[in-house]
Amino acid sequence: MNEALQRLSDRLDQVTRWVLVPIGIGFIVIVFLGVLTRYVFQAPIISSIELARLGFVWAAFLGAAICFKGERHTQFLFLLDRLRGRGKAGLKSGIDCLAVSLFIFLSWEGLQMVSAVSATYFPALGWSQLWLYLPLPVAALLMLVHGLAFLVRDIRLLADLGGTR
């Protein structure tokens, strides 16, 4: 189960990176085109700001999921750095548990939010607002898988350290 979960987490991370590239490039192009069409061609793309906001929110949350997988989110490490062996593995497992619980909560509540706003629309684009709120549950689900993979890894480490004590 551990290896399957690790593989799933790695594969999802890879897919997230592939998805982030066109979203990121598209977002950059849209903002730049918005400037170009407004000031050079005097023919602004009305929906460019809404598209840019959408692209940014998606890129920010997908980036947060990649960041979580790479364990790059800002955290205080002074306690973790001072602990050794089982103490460290135990604390890391506890942090993983909290992260997993939070991601279950954010996935569920995020989907509720998506459902609640699905009947409202962007004024210029005419698209449903669910596209603005969807990145949160998507990122939370991705981070849930990564969090579970970390949890299984750290519990196994804790068990190994217990066995060799």
Partner 1 sequence: MIGPLIVCFAILAVLGVPIALAMAAAVAVVMAFLTPFPILGMVQRMITGIDSFVLISIPFFMLTGRLMNVGGITSDLFRFARCLVGPIRGGMAHANVIANMILAGMSGSAVADAGGMGVVVIKAMSENGYRRELAGAITVAASTIGPIIPPSIPMVIYGAMAEVSVGRLFLGGFVPGALMGLGLMALIYWTSFREHLPKDRRYAGAEIWDAFRGAFLSLLTPVILIGGILSGIFTPTEASAVAAVYAFFLCFFVYKTIGVRDIPGIVVDTFVTTAVVTFIISATSGFSYLLIVGKVGTALVEATLAFTKSPWVILLIVNFALLILGCLMEAGVLLILLTPILVPMMKSLGVDLVHFGLVMVLNLMIGVATPPVGMCLFVVSEAAQIRLERLMREVIVWCMPLIAVLFLITYWPGLVLFVPNWLMPGK
Closer Cβ to partner 1, 3 or 84, answer by number: 84
Q: Which residues contact 134 (CB under 8 A, 6 or more apart)?
A: 110, 114
Rounded-to-integer distance, Cα 161 and Cα 85, Å: 7
Q: How many other β-carbons are positioned within 10 Å of the β-carbon of residue 92?
A: 19
Query: Cα torsion for 23, 63, 142, 139, to the nearest 10°?
Result: -80
Nearer to partner 1, 39 or 164 (CB): 39
Q: What is the DSSP letter of 2?
A: H
Which residues in 6-25 contact partner 1 (CB under 8 A)? 17, 20-21, 24-25
- Token code pair at residue 105: 């909560």
Within residues 84-123, the interface with partner 1 by CB under 8 A covers: 91-92, 94-95, 98-99, 102, 105-106, 109-110, 112-113, 116
Specify whether the CB–CB gap between 91 and 154 falls below 8 A.
no
Stretch that binds partner 1, among 3-11, 52-60, 119-127, 155-163 (CB under 8 A): 52-60
31 is a contact residue toward partner 1 (CB under 8 A): yes
Binding site for partner 1 (CB under 8 A): 17, 20-21, 24-25, 27-28, 31-32, 34-35, 39, 49, 52-53, 56-57, 59-64, 66-68, 70, 72-77, 79-80, 91-92, 94-95, 98-99, 102, 105-106, 109-110, 112-113, 116, 132-133, 135-136
